[in-house]
Structure 1
Amino acid sequence: MTQPTDDPYLVISADCHAGLPNEQYREWLDPDVREAFDESIIARTRQQEMAAQGFLNTDFAEEWNAENEEGLRGGWDGERRDKELSADGVVGEVIFPDADSVTSGASAPFGAGLGSGSDTPPELLLAGATAHNRWLAELCATSPKRRAGIAVVPIIAGVDESVAEIRRAHASGLWGGILIPPMWQPHEPYHHAKYDPIWAVCSELGLPVHVHSGPADKASYGPHIGIYTTEVRFWSGRPLWFLIWSGAFERFPDLRFGVTECGAFWVNDLLWRMDLVYERDHGSQKLGEQLTSDMSMRPSEYFDRNCFIGASNTLRVEMARRYEIGVGNILWGNDFPHPEGTWPHTAEFLAEVFRDIPDDETAAMLGGNAADMYDFDVEALRPLANEFGPTPTQLGQRGPQSQADIEAKWADAKRAGRPWRTGIETWPRAAPAS
C-alpha cells in the first residue's frame, strides 16, 4: 500500500471502546436477570468506592472527566462519537466494550466486558455479554461503514451457547470479530479441543478472535499495583502461544487472532525464542518429536499468517522493532475514549512516533493493515480520510528529510528483518582480537 504525494492517510483505530453508563444497560437485558443486575450495580458502586482508596488517582480522574466531559459522551452517543473521531483524524474504528476505564462507569453488565472471568456465574456472564452486543449493534448501525463492532463472547461460560451468540451477533451487524477472556481458569485452557467449534465458526464467518488487556491474577497482588502493570500483558498474550504450539492454526488455517492494547514491544523476542525452540537450538535439542508434532511451520510463520497485534498507542521503541515484529502485523489504535490512549491529541502523538517512518509503512500501520484484517470498505472511507486524515507533512515526514533519506535510515534494519531468520546482525560486531 503506497502512500502517494501528500495525500491524507486513511486512519483506522484498531482499538476503540464503547459502552452505556452502567445503569442504562438494564433495558437491554432479558427480564429474568434484571433483578440480579440491580444487585450487581450496588456491588459495583462499592467496588468503585474501594478503588478510589489508593488504586485510582482520584485527582486525575476528576480532572480528566472535567476536561473531556463533552467528548466522553462519545462513548455511547453515536453522533458525538463521529465528531470526536473525525477531529482525531480517525475515519474507521474497531470497537471493544467498556467506554470508561477510569471509574468503570460505562461497562458491560455483570463484568462481561474487558474484565470477563470465571468469578461471575456463567448464565449472568452470557446475559451481560448479549445485552452489550445488542446495544453495540444499534450503535454501529448509525455509522456502519466506520464501525467494526466486536461481540463480547465469554466462551468459558459455555461453547454451544457461545457459538449461538457469535452467529446471532454477526447477523445483527457486528462484523468486527469476537472478544474472549484472556484467562480461562478454572476451565480448560484454549488448546483444548472443546473450543474447536468456536474457532470453526469464527473461521467460517471471517471473524477475528481477540483478547484485550485487563484481566490478570489480581488476587495475588494485594495493594501492589505495580505487579499488575508488569504482568498484565503476559496474561493477555498467553492465549497466543497456547494456540500456536497446540496446532490450532494448523487445524484452522483461516482463523485470525489478535492481542489488543498490550503494546507490540514484546513480540519480536517472543517470536525469536519460539522459532529457536522450534528449530531445536542448543537449549532445545533434548526435546522429542512431541514439541512440534502439531505444527508444520515455524511459530513466526503462523504468527504472520494468522495473528496480529492491536498495538494501540504505538511507541517509538516499537517502530524501531517493526521489521522483527512484522510491519504487516501492527495495527495502530487511539484507544478512544480511554485516557491512556492518544485521544484527543492524536495528531501530536502520531507526529512524534511516525515522523521518520516511510510513507508506505505508515499507511499500513495506521489503517491499511486494519482495513485488510477487518475488510473495511476503503472506498467508502476515503472521502472522510481526505477531509480529516493527517498528511505526511503534518506528521513531519516532509521538509528537510526526503523519502529517500527516511528509507536510507532504516535500510539496514529492513534488510535484516528478523535476524534469527536472515542471519543478518544489526548490532556492531566486536573488534577482532589483536
Structure 2
Amino acid sequence: MNAMDAPSAFPRIISVDDHTVEPAHVWQDRLPKKYLDTGPRVVRAPLKEMTFLGGRFAPVMGEPGGREGPVGDWWVYEDLHRPLTRLDTAVGYDRDEIRLEVITYEQMRAGSHDVPHRLADMDVNHVQSALCFPTFPRFCGQTFTEARDKELALLCVRAYNDWMVEEWCGPSARGRLIPLTLIPLWDAELAAAEVRRNAERGVRAVAFSEIPPHLGLPSVHTDAWDPFLAACDETGTVVAMHIGSSSRMPSTSADAPPAVGSTITFANCCFSMVDWLMSGKFERFPGLRVMYAEGQIGWIPYILERADVVWEENRGWGGVADKVRRPPSELFAGHVYGCFFDDAFGLRNLDAIGVGNVLYETDYPHSDSTWPKSREVGEAQMGHLPPDVVERIVRGNAIDLLGLTPDGLWPGAR
C-alpha cells in the first residue's frame, strides 16, 4: 500500500518551506547561446578550503581536474564559485554524519533535484504538496542581484522562473509542487513586471529578502518597493521570506561557531516582521501578505505584545503615528504568516499567535528537516489541539494563502 493511502488521523501535509537543488541544465538550456560560457554552469573541481564562521560561508575552488582536496560539483557564474554541499541535501544521513563538505550530484539524494524522486520522498513523509525555495540563486535571488551583468542577471531570473513553473512544477509533478518565483531585486519596476508575468500563469508566491538593506537595497520603510508591492497586492502574490534571505545569518561574532547562528536563526525574521508592521505598507496595500519560512513561531507573541505597547505609548515620537493607524497585532493577524517545522513552545501558545497565521513545513532536504518523520513530529507536537485546528495548520491555511485547490494541489500544473 502506498504511504499516501495509509490510514491516519493526521492530515496530509502541505509544506510551505522545502528546497530544490537546481539540475545542472537549468540555465544552459534556457539562456541565449552567447551567455552559455558566462551564465550559471556546473563544473567538477576539488575544494581547497571552506569555512562557515560568524554566519559567513567561504569556499575556495581548486582547478578542475586538480587534486588539491575533495572533489565536488560547483556552480560557476561570473566570478562566483559555489559548491554543492552536504548541508544542501542532508536527508537520509545520520545527524552526526552531516558535515560541511562538498558533494557531487551523484552523492546527494535524488529527490533533491529530480521530480519523480521528490514525489516519492514526499509520499514517505506524508506530504501531499510542497513549496520549494532555490539553492544556487540563494533564497531570494541574491546571486543574480550581486552579478555585474544585469542584462544576463535578468535573463537568469526569468530562466529560473520558467524552469520552476514549466518543469519543476510542470505536468509530471501533478500539482503537488507549488511554484515560488524570483524577481530582479535591483529594479522594482522590473520586479513588478515579473510578478505579473508569473501571476498570469498561476504563480501565487514570490521570494523576497527579510532585510533588504543587508543586500545594499532600500528598506521597506521607503517607497522604493511600492511598484513591486502593488503588483503583489493586485495579483494576490504572497511575499515569502526565508531565513538567510538577507545573505547574513544571525550570529554574535566573527568566530562564533555555526551552532550559535543555528540557535538564533529566527532573529532576522523577528527584526523583519517589526520592520513590516511599522512600515505602513499593510495599510497602503491591504491585500499584501508576507510569510516567514523556517523562522519558527514561538517568539511571535512577545514581539506582538511589545510592538503594541510601543505603538500605543510611543507612536507620537516613534515616527509611525502618520502611517500605522492600527495596533501592530491587528496588522499581523491580517497580513503575516509564521512557518515552523519543530516548535512545541509556539504550539502551546497558539492562542497568542492565531490559528490562521501559522503554516507547517518540513525543510526537505536540509539538515534541519524532519523528513521522513514530519508526520510523527506533527502528531507529537499538535496532539493537544482539536482536529480542525490541526487541519488548518497542516494544510488549510496554506490552501487559502497560496490559492490551491480544495484538495491542496497547485491548479496551474498542466
User: Scaled by the length of structure 1, what TM-score is found?
Assistant: 0.72
Give the greater-gyration-radius structure (CA): 1
Give 1:313-332 correspondences, 5 Å limit: 313-332=341-360
CA drift of 1:250 comes to 0.4
Q: Secondary structure at the match of 2:179?
A: strand
CA drift of 1:299 comes to 0.3
Q: Does 1:235 align with 2:237?
A: no
CA drift of 1:303 comes to 0.6
CA drift of 1:75 comes to 2.3
Query: Which residue identity is paired with 1:163?
Result: A
Query: Which residue identity is paired with 2:119?
Result: D
Which residue of structure 2 aligns with residue 50 of structure 1? Answer: 50
CA drift of 1:206 comes to 0.8
Q: Does 1:278 align with 2:305?
A: no
The runs of 5 or more residues in structure 2 that have no matched partner are 1-6, 58-84, 88-95, 410-414
Q: Determine the C-alpha separation between the residues in 2 that align with 1:160 and 1:47.
A: 40
Q: Determine the C-alpha separation between the residues in 2 that align with 1:116 and 1:236.
A: 21
Do 2:250 and 2:265's aligned partners in 1 also have CA atoms closer than 8 Å? no
Question: C-alpha deviations, 1:196-231, integer Å up to 9, x for none?
Answer: 111111111111011101231689843423453355
Q: Does 1:75 align with 2:107?
A: no
CA drift of 1:317 comes to 0.9
Question: C-alpha deviations, 1:361-384, integer Å up to 9, x for none?
Answer: 111111111111112112465xxx
Give 1:142-221 correspondences, 5 Å limit: 142=171, 143-155=173-185, 157-173=186-202, 175-185=203-213, 186-214=216-244, 215-216=247-248, 221=253
Which residue of structure 1 aligns with residue 387 of structure 2? Answer: 359
Do 1:64 and 1:339's aligned partners in 2 also have CA atoms closer than 8 Å? no
Which residue of structure 2 aligns with residue 134 of structure 1? Answer: 162
Q: Determine the C-alpha separation between the residues in 2 that align with 1:45 and 1:247.
A: 49
Question: In the superposition, relative to structure 1, how do residues 6 and 86 fare at CA in structure 2: closer, same or farther (>3 Å)?
Answer: closer
More strand by share: 2
Which residue of structure 1 aligns with residue 331 of structure 2? Answer: 302
Q: Determine the C-alpha separation between the residues in 2 that align with 1:45 and 1:329.
A: 45
Question: In the superposition, relative to structure 1, how do residues 239 and 358 fare at CA in structure 2: closer, same or farther (>3 Å)?
Answer: same
Aligned residues: 357
Q: Determine the C-alpha separation between the residues in 2 that align with 1:46 and 1:354.
A: 45
Q: Determine the C-alpha separation between the residues in 1 that align with 2:115 and 2:301.
A: 37
Q: Determine the C-alpha separation between the residues in 2 that align with 1:162 and 1:114.
A: 12
Do 1:319 and 1:353's aligned partners in 2 also have CA atoms closer than 8 Å? yes
More helix by share: 1
Question: In the superposition, relative to structure 1, how do residues 121 and 181 fare at CA in structure 2: closer, same or farther (>3 Å)?
Answer: farther
Which residue of structure 2 aligns with residue 263 of structure 1? Answer: 296
Q: Secondary structure at the match of 2:296?
A: coil
Question: In the superposition, relative to structure 1, how do residues 253 and 309 fare at CA in structure 2: closer, same or farther (>3 Å)?
Answer: same
Do 1:183 and 1:216's aligned partners in 2 also have CA atoms closer than 8 Å? no
- Greater mean deviation of Cα atoms: 225-234 or 185-194: 225-234
- Greater mean deviation of Cα atoms: 295-304 or 337-346: 337-346
Q: Determine the C-alpha separation between the residues in 2 that align with 1:330 and 1:62.
A: 31
Q: Determine the C-alpha separation between the residues in 1 that align with 2:350 and 2:144.
A: 32
- Greater mean deviation of Cα atoms: 185-194 or 113-122: 113-122
CA drift of 1:141 comes to 1.5
Q: Determine the C-alpha separation between the residues in 2 that align with 1:205 and 1:28.
A: 26
Do 1:74 and 1:84's aligned partners in 2 also have CA atoms closer than 8 Å? yes
Question: In the superposition, relative to structure 1, how do residues 344 and 200 fare at CA in structure 2: closer, same or farther (>3 Å)?
Answer: same
Q: Does 1:350 align with 2:378?
A: yes
CA drift of 1:353 comes to 1.4
Q: Determine the C-alpha separation between the residues in 1 that align with 2:250 and 2:338.
A: 24
Which residue of structure 2 aligns with residue 97 of structure 1? Answer: 134
Identity of aligned residues (%): 23
User: Scaled by the length of structure 2, what TM-score is found?
Assistant: 0.75
Q: Determine the C-alpha separation between the residues in 2 that align with 1:267 and 1:14.
A: 18
Q: Determine the C-alpha separation between the residues in 2 that align with 1:169 and 1:324.
A: 35
Question: C-alpha deviations, 1:68-104, integer Å up to 9, x for none?
Answer: 9898222222211211112211112222212xxxxxx
Question: In the superposition, relative to structure 1, how do residues 227 and 264 fare at CA in structure 2: closer, same or farther (>3 Å)?
Answer: same
The runs of 5 or more residues in structure 1 that have no matched partner are 99-106, 382-434
CA drift of 1:18 comes to 1.5
Q: Determine the C-alpha separation between the residues in 1 that align with 2:292 and 2:386.
A: 25
Q: Does 1:87 align with 2:115?
A: no
CA drift of 1:19 comes to 3.0
Q: How much is the aligned-residue C-alpha RMSD, in angstroms?
A: 3.5
Question: In the superposition, relative to structure 1, how do residues 182 and 45 fare at CA in structure 2: closer, same or farther (>3 Å)?
Answer: farther
CA drift of 1:171 comes to 3.2
Query: Which residue identity is paired with 1:303?
Result: F
CA drift of 1:16 comes to 1.4
